[in-house]
């Protein structure tokens, strides 16, 4: 399998990036962030999640965020849903695409969704059937594919099995999540090769949290086996509330810097991406976690 010449970046900052923020981020800030990300040329921007507000209070305003965003016809704005109730809320808001999620370890499944893997897949099947009936596309996530914060090692055979089930029930894309960021490139490559035996590699995405600084290496390893879809978060924001100690996703700026350097097309404009990053970092009063973002911004300030 040769390296892809084009990569789709799925921007998860407004959801994965912000879901763990303790202080409420105002709806208008989330909306402005989404609009700036769209201006930067990102074609998929995860706008939020219709999950229980008791479990993830930060996402409680997803309906308003979605409705107030300047929805563009060339951009897809998926939202996360764990069950039929979430899907119904998404349909009511006018969302076109949802993302379901399951896990590759039983303990993580319980902590994140209060049910077994089997039960979460049953819920997901109901979501997929109803989404198909309503004309919505469904993306699927699998968490803890390279290690679980509670159980440690995860068997690639379990990841493959969950991936195949999500794909078979109608998820057009399955994103493999290294929720804890423990994966390293060789294991990442082996995992994708394993899963690609049951789900076409074109339909697999990589979702790497950067806790151990391995995400860029893992993306490079995945590219090498033909993966062409990567999730990332502006300024490297984020973390999963049910993955203690895990930091944000790999930053969109770091991913774009590498892909630009490799001559791989994305359609994303780095300068406009930096505008979005500066905006959210200023609001959160926090420096960016992106290495490339920090370097490029300091260079720009030197030149200016």
Query: What distances in angstroms separate CA 92 from CA 66, 133, 193, 263, one per listed residue?
Result: 11, 14, 39, 41
- The only residue of 16, 97, 173, 210 in contact with ligand HMG, by rule CB under 6 A: 16
Site membership for ligand HMG, residue 101 (CB under 6 A): yes
Question: Tokens standing for 126?
Answer: 């109901």
User: Closer to Mg ion at the Cβ: 238 or 296?
Assistant: 238
Site membership for ligand HMG, residue 113 (CB under 6 A): yes
- The only residue of 69, 109, 112, 288 in contact with ligand HMG, by rule CB under 6 A: 112
Residues 6+ apart with CB under 8 A from 299: none
First to last CA, the chain: 44
Contact between 167 and 198 under an 8 Å Cβ cutoff? The reply is yes
Residue 30's binding partner, choosing from Mg ion, ligand HMG, none, with beta-carbon cut-off 5 to 8 A by kind?
none
How far is Cα 133 from Cα 110, in angstroms, rounded to an integer? 29
The order of strands in the sheet holding 204-208 is 44-45, 8-11, 229-232, 204-208, 173-178, 137-143, 97-103, 79-80, 48-49
Residue 77's binding partner, choosing from ligand HMG, Mg ion, none, with beta-carbon cut-off 5 to 8 A by kind?
none
Return the residue matching tokens 């229980």.
Answer: 52
Q: Report the nearest approach of Mg ion to the CB of residue 217 (Å).
A: 18
Site membership for ligand HMG, residue 289 (CB under 6 A): no
Q: Which stretch binds ligand HMG (CB under 6 A): 75-83, 220-228, 264-272, 278-286?
A: 75-83
- The only residue of 49, 109, 160, 218 in contact with ligand HMG, by rule CB under 6 A: 49
Q: Report the nearest approach of ligand HMG to the CB of residue 122 (Å).
A: 12
Query: What distances in angstroms separate CA 112 from CA 51, 160, 303, one per listed residue?
Result: 11, 20, 46
Kindly list the residues in this chain that would bind ligand HMG in the complex (CB under 6 A). Answer: 16, 19, 49-52, 54-56, 80, 82-83, 85-86, 89, 101, 112-114, 141, 143, 177, 179, 207, 209, 240-242
């Amino acid at each position: 399998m040769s390296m892809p010449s084009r990569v789709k970046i799925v921007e998860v900052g407004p959801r994965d990036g912000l879901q763990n923020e303790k202080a409420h981020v105002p709806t208008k800030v989330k909306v402005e962030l989404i609009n700036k990300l769209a201006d930067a040329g990102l074609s998929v921007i995860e706008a939020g999640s219709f999950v229980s507000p008791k479990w993830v209070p930060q996402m409680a305003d997803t309906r308003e965020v979605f409705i107030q965003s300047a929805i563009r016809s060339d951009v897809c704005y998926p939202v996360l849903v764990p069950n039929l109730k979430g899907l119904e809320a998404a349909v009511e808001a006018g969302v076109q695409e949802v993302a379901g999620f399951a896990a590759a370890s039983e303990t993580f499944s319980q902590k994140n969704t209060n049910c077994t893997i089997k039960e979460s897949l049953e819920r997901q099947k109901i979501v997929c059937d109803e989404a198909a009936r309503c004309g919505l596309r469904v993306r699927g996530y699998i968490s803890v594919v390279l290690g679980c914060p509670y159980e440690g090692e995860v068997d690639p055979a379990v990841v493959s099995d969950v991936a195949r089930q999500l794909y078979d029930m109608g998820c057009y894309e399955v994103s493999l999540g290294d929720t804890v960021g423990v994966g390293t490139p060789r294991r990442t490559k082996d995992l994708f090769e394993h899963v690609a035996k049951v789900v076409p590699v074109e339909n697999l995405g990589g979702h790497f949290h950067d806790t151990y600084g391995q995400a860029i290496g893992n993306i490079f390893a995945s590219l090498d086996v033909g993966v062409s879809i990567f999730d990332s978060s502006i300024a490297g924001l984020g973390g999963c509330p049910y993955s203690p100690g895990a930091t944000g996703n790999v930053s969109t700026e770091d991913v774009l810097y590498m892909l630009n350097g490799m001559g791989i097309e994305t359609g994303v404009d780095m300068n406009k991406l930096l505008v979005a990053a500066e905006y959210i970092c200023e609001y959160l009063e926090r420096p960016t976690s992106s290495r490339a973002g920090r370097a490029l911004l300091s260079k720009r300030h030197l030149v200016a």
